Amino acid sequence: MKPTTFWEIERAKSRAAKVLFLIFFPFFTLSMLGLFYLLKFFWGIFRGGGFWEFLLASSFMSLILYFMAKAGAKRQRILNFLISLKAQKPDLQDLKHRQVQNVVREMAIAASVPEPEVYIIPVLARNAFSAFDIISITEGAVSSLERDELQAVVAHEMAHYLRGDSYYKGIISTFIMAISTLLGASLFLSGVNKNRDKNRKGGGWAWDFIIVVIYLYLINLMARLLNAAISRKMEDLADARAVQFTRNPLALASALYKVSRDRVRGLASFASPALSSLFIVPPNINSLDEGHGFFSNLFSTHPPTRKRIGNLLNLAHADWNTLRQKAVKKRLKGDFWVERDGKWIGPFTLEELLEKTWVGEGAKIKGKEGTFIFGPQFLQKFTRTQGNCPRCGGPLYETHYEFVPIIRCGRCGGILVREDRAMKLIARGESLITRQEMEFTRKKVEKTREKLISGGANPKTVDPSSPLKCPFCGRPMERKFFNFVTYTPVDFCPKCKYYFFDGGELETIIAGLKRIDSLYK
């Protein structure tokens, strides 16, 4: 009978994971026992040994590997991985990052465990992973997930932390590594043996080595299959625990739906197979992961995402239509339209209007009460900062762009943002971009490419104006392409680590990435 509550799922998956893990030790012991007999039969090694001696030696090797795995399963490896991804602790001046920290604290209380360390990975891809007492979430997930979805993702990772799944996986990985090492050694010896056998009549490969290599290949394959089976049970169990902590299966289903639809960006950093099993959804696209056939169930470290979502929808007594409606982020209906290149674009709310960097002083705005001109009076509620805009010399104000702290010019709309916060702006602004802005971007990119073809792939070809001076240190800023999607040149101060985006450049970059993402989907 199929489990219908998270309690039943938890009991079933926990029992299965423990059984599979306990199988691993006798499996390795028997594998070594078989290898000893092969060595004795073919080459006379361990000739004086019998069954009990071999069994004792195999068991001793298993114990040594187990304690080596426990000693080697250290969080420093995960920290090194995070450093390679330029992950950072949450920026508490960023309201979204502060929300992540609060959610982790809430889930730690719900799980009755010490609060784990939190890291944010600055990539657009949506994903999350945990190992030991570390939980890490990508900027794309932080920006796109609603609060209840974020709670569900953190609860899933908290379940791994609570059960110590990273230790299990570390121990199993050590056993697999040991078998792979034996396999590699055998392949090397088979090459040596081939040269030795050239002196024999007929030459060629030694059939005894071939048998040993095939045996180790099969053992290695079986170990990996067992590892994948254990990992799948752990993921199912973490899903059940997340529902137990949040009492909201629909939120986790919605989070998985969003994450699984967004595996086309930022995948190069997550290519390591050893670490991919730590993520809530496999970051590398693989058709086997989402299949339902025999081979998919054998080789995938995660259950099919669609199946996981289906189980959660059953617990929530909901269907796929309900899920899709929840997953779509609806923009609030605004009352303001802005004239751009002779066309009215909108509608925007007042908050969205103030965040549009292409809306500067003198922009014509139409609202319910008529048409008016945008001016610095709309920014007076923000804090005035020292220095002036490097582009137009206008006043600079401290404000936020989708909860990210920025410095904005009250005249031309240009913005200054710290280097470590630039990726946040790209991730956060995606939901604010309208179809009209995407169309403007498409036309602008086409014109930019024409310039680059005739004038060369240089930022000065697109923006030949004089270098800007940093408003903080007064030094000339470097001009470079922010990315090679829209070929938008931006200015950067290497000393102060600040980017300057002219009015509208930020939206151009975001719209270009959003357009590419929509083409993939």
Give the E-state strand segments of 342-465 in sequence order.
Answer: 343-348, 364-367, 370-373, 383-388, 395-401, 404-409, 415-418
Pairwise CA distance, residues 352 & 25, whole Å: 59
Phi, psi of 237 (to 5 degrees): -65, -40
Angle at 514 between CA 508 and CA 519, to 5 degrees: 130
Amino acid symbol at 348: F
The position carrying tokens 């056998």 is 197
Active site residue 402: no
Sheet of 117-121, strand order = 117-121, 134-138, 128-131
Counting every residue written for the chain, the total comes to 521
Peptide bond into 347 cis (omega under 30): yes
* C-alpha dist (Å) from residue 88 to 91, 154, 294: 8, 17, 40
157, 235, 361, 505: the active-site residue: 157
Half-sphere exposure (Cβ direction) of 311: Cα atoms closer than 13 Å: 22
Token representation of residue 346: 């909108």
The answer to whether 84 and 269 are in contact (CB under 8 A) is yes
Q: What element of type H or E holds 339?
A: strand 336-340
Q: What element of type H or E holds 142?
A: helix 139-144
Q: Is the dihedral of CA 210, 214, 219, 225 positive or negative?
A: positive
Q: What is the dihedral of CA 135, 140, 144, 147, to 10 degrees?
A: 10
Cα Rg of the chain (Å, integer): 29
Active-site residue numbers?
A: 157
